[in-house]
Amino acid sequence: MSVKNYGIYVAFPPTVDMRAQGLGRYLAALLNASKNDPNVRFVVACPVWARPSLLALCESEKIDPAGFDILSPKGTPALLRLFNLVYGRSFGRVSLNGGRFSRFWQKLKHSGLPLAYRIGLPFFKWTATNTGILAPVVLSVIFLPLGAVIVIGGFFATCVLTLREASNLLKRKPKFLDLWRRRTNKIARIYRNQKNNALLYALYQMMAEDQAKKLVKLANKRADIVAWYAPAAFWEEFNDIKAPKLMCVPDLVLNDFPVGYANPEVSRYAKSFQIVMRAIEGADHIVTYSEHIKQENVLKFYPKDPDKIHVIRHAPNTLHQLLVDKNGNPLSHEALKALLLTSLKKSSQKEYVASLNTTDIQFIFYASQFRPNKNVITLLRAYKHLLHRKFVSHKLLLTGKPDMVPQIKQFIYDHHLENDVLCLPGLSATQLAACYALADLAVNPSLSEGGCPFTFTEAMSVGTPAVMARIPVTMEVLDDSSLQDVMFFDPYDWQSLADRMEWALANKDHLFAIQTPVYNRLVQRTWGDVVNEHIDILHSLSKQEAGIA
């Protein structure tokens, strides 16, 4: 049987690190599983700036890049080159270390005397010992302009100081100083939080749209690619590909959480939402992760043929394979604790963890970004109740960034929970696995997901039971009624969550025993199965296109 080429279309805008995206990890799972099928080869169409991110994803997920092809337009947009120079997100590196100029400045600032000494001493020796004309010429070339700079700089400094003195006398700051300060502060904020700057985001979107169109042109030239798959509904240009297409609609959280996502700090979603709407409207075949999303997010709002909306459930995510040493043996308990300690050191509560050296702490674990649909405040209310009223001594470890959601940070502060609720953003996959393994309980209070959250299998794979919100997508997969009674809670009722956690902590082994058969059943499904189901649909679409029954 000949190899069939299937296309995967991902047109993320600049700065997106696929390793940090759920979709990126989903893509990794597809690529990883496809390597086992010799008749299938994926071609990943992505913008030029996404190549390094894609390769970094492969490295992180241990995928051989030779196992698939990459299709990208040539050349980097000039504007992006400028951004890379300044912000350091250069082609070839996915890093946040700043541009060349800022790195140079940082080095100079921090190296201080040693650097000056290292550069200055040899130069000084040379000028002191060189007898030819070169040394004086070099000295003149250096020091005359330097002298001029010093004189002119001194003049301006004097003016500034004089003005400041005058303004202090008048009790008014010079406007230009304030203006300068505001401008530099704004630049600093943009640098720190590029994603949420409207102007930058608009520029990124312009580039992304242009690249997306170029990708479509490239895709349409590849007659050998029999069908295309887009793992998200972000790119309406995908619908312009002439080959059969399958678009994934993971979820529509903006629709389900309109006020939460209307937050001005994430205003970029407004335009994205409309793009997604158009993409779904124009899509022919769609795949969702759950029947619930198919019915409630797609068919409810779009007049589509239900037979053209396919449901492919996730395979479970497991973590035990990350907790092994070089020889493939499971890590010792001490090694896990060492990983936990490094995780704790990532806490946003820097002062609290600075001198923390113990890992003999008991904790409850919720691994998720902080988003409006994740229901973190309800979890915090429940936890506060357990800690302050029921005297359950466990800490609560989270993995989101509290600065991204002020209400969460404020709640933690207002209720004096900052030393018990630790936020650990940026955990590596191994650290995440270690936290799950050492937790007494994993919890997921999320109100809405595209498919059954991975919490259950991730936790169970490393020996930790889990309690989860009773939401439709979870109940589609965890449909055992006796299991539901012991592990589900009402996500709208913090008391229900508190009661469930309290019971689970007191009956950990019993809960784990009840959950184990279900876990064992779920892990029978692999990402290979998921890929095969996708390929089956793509194959079927390509046959329909070719007019084959």
Partner 1 sequence: MNRPVRIAVILPVPYRGGSLRGAQMLAEALLLGSRQAGEPAEIVLAHLDEPDKYSDHHFADLHPDIRRRPYQWQTLYKKTAERAMIYARQDWHAESPLYLAPDDGINQFYDCDLWVIVSDRLLHPLLPIRPTVHMVYDYIQRYEPILPHGQDYPYLEAARKAQAVMVTTRFTEQDALNYAGVEREKLHKVPMLVPKFTRMERASGIAEEPPYFIWTTNPSPHKNHPNAFLALREYYDVLGGTLKCHITGAMTENLLEAKFPNLAPVSELAKKSENIRKNVLCLGELADSLYQSRLERAAFLWHAGRIDNGTFSVVEAAHLGVPSLSSDYPAMREMDEMFKLNLAWMDPNNPMDMARALKKMEVEANERRKLLPAEEMLNEHSVEHSALAYWKVVRSCL
Nearer to partner 1, 312 or 379 (CB): 379
Q: Is 301 in the site for partner 1 (CB under 8 A)?
A: yes
Distances (CA, A) of 110 to 10, 100, 114, 184: 40, 15, 9, 21
Least Å distance between CB 247 and partner 1?
Answer: 20
Nearer to partner 1, 140 or 267 (CB): 267
Copy the structure tokens of residue 59. Answer: 């490295």
CA 530 – CA 395 distance, rounded (Å): 36
DSSP assignment of 241-308? -SS-EEEE----HHHHSHHHHT-GGGTTHHHHHHHHHHHHHH-SEEEESSHHHIIIIIITTS---GGG
Nearer to partner 1, 245 or 294 (CB): 294
**Do 209 and 190 touch, CB atoms closer than 8 A?**
no
Residue type, 84: N
Stretch that binds partner 1, among 43-51, 302-310, 372-380, 535-543 (CB under 8 A): 372-380
78-87 and 100-129 helices, crossing angle to 10°: 60
Q: Is 261 in the site for partner 1 (CB under 8 A)?
A: yes
Q: Is 36 in the site for partner 1 (CB under 8 A)?
A: no
Q: Which of 72, 318, 378, 461 binds partner 1 (CB under 8 A)?
A: 378
Nearer to partner 1, 260 or 528 (CB): 260
Q: Write the burial class of residue 204 (CB in 10 Å: 0-12 exposed, 13-18 middle, 19+ buried).
A: buried
CA 151 – CA 153 distance, rounded (Å): 5
Nearer to partner 1, 159 or 202 (CB): 202
Copy the structure tokens of residue 341. Answer: 């300690």
Binding to partner 1 (CB under 8 A) within 406-445 occurs at: 407, 411
Nearer to partner 1, 185 or 267 (CB): 267
Q: Which of 158, 267, 419, 516 binds partner 1 (CB under 8 A)?
A: 267
Nearer to partner 1, 282 or 472 (CB): 472
Nearer to partner 1, 256 or 418 (CB): 256
Least Å distance between CB 367 and partner 1?
Answer: 20
CA 370 – CA 407 distance, rounded (Å): 11
Rg (C-alpha) for the chain, rounded Å, is: 28
Least Å distance between CB 435 and partner 1?
Answer: 24
Copy the structure tokens of residue 166. Answer: 């005058």
Neighbours of 399 (CB within 10 A): 21
Stretch that binds partner 1, among 156-164, 267-275, 417-425, 517-525 (CB under 8 A): 267-275
Residue where the block lists tokens 């876990």: 519
Stretch that binds partner 1, among 369-377, 396-404, 481-489, 523-531 (CB under 8 A): 369-377
Binding to partner 1 (CB under 8 A) within 42-81 occurs at: none
CA 91 – CA 296 distance, rounded (Å): 41
Q: Is 274 in the site for partner 1 (CB under 8 A)?
A: yes
**Do 55 and 547 touch, CB atoms closer than 8 A?**
no
Q: Is 475 in the site for partner 1 (CB under 8 A)?
A: yes
Q: Is 453 in the site for partner 1 (CB under 8 A)?
A: no
Nearer to partner 1, 183 or 300 (CB): 300
Q: Is 369 in the site for partner 1 (CB under 8 A)?
A: no
Q: Which of 262, 324, 335, 506 binds partner 1 (CB under 8 A)?
A: 262
Least Å distance between CB 408 and partner 1?
Answer: 9
Copy the structure tokens of residue 361. Answer: 């702490």
Q: Is 278 in the site for partner 1 (CB under 8 A)?
A: no
Name the H helices within 365-422: 376-388, 406-414
- Beta carbons within 8 Å of 492's beta carbon, 6+ residues apart: 378, 447
Residue type, 7: G
Q: Is 257 in the site for partner 1 (CB under 8 A)?
A: yes
Stretch that binds partner 1, among 216-224, 269-277, 317-325, 391-399 (CB under 8 A): 269-277
Q: Is 372 in the site for partner 1 (CB under 8 A)?
A: yes
CA 96 – CA 186 distance, rounded (Å): 18
Q: Is 370 in the site for partner 1 (CB under 8 A)?
A: no
Q: Is 479 in the site for partner 1 (CB under 8 A)?
A: no
Q: Is 377 in the site for partner 1 (CB under 8 A)?
A: yes
Q: Is 264 in the site for partner 1 (CB under 8 A)?
A: yes
Give 287's strand partners.
248, 310
Neighbours of 411 (CB within 10 A): 18
**Do 372 and 257 touch, CB atoms closer than 8 A?**
yes
Distances (CA, A) of 6 to 130, 175, 227: 68, 60, 5
Q: Is 304 in the site for partner 1 (CB under 8 A)?
A: no
- Show the site string, 382-411: x = touches partner 1 by CB under 8 A, - = not: -------------------------x---x
Residues at the interface with partner 1 (CB under 8 A):
254-264, 267, 269-270, 273-274, 292, 301, 372-373, 375, 377-378, 381, 407, 411, 447, 472, 475, 491-493
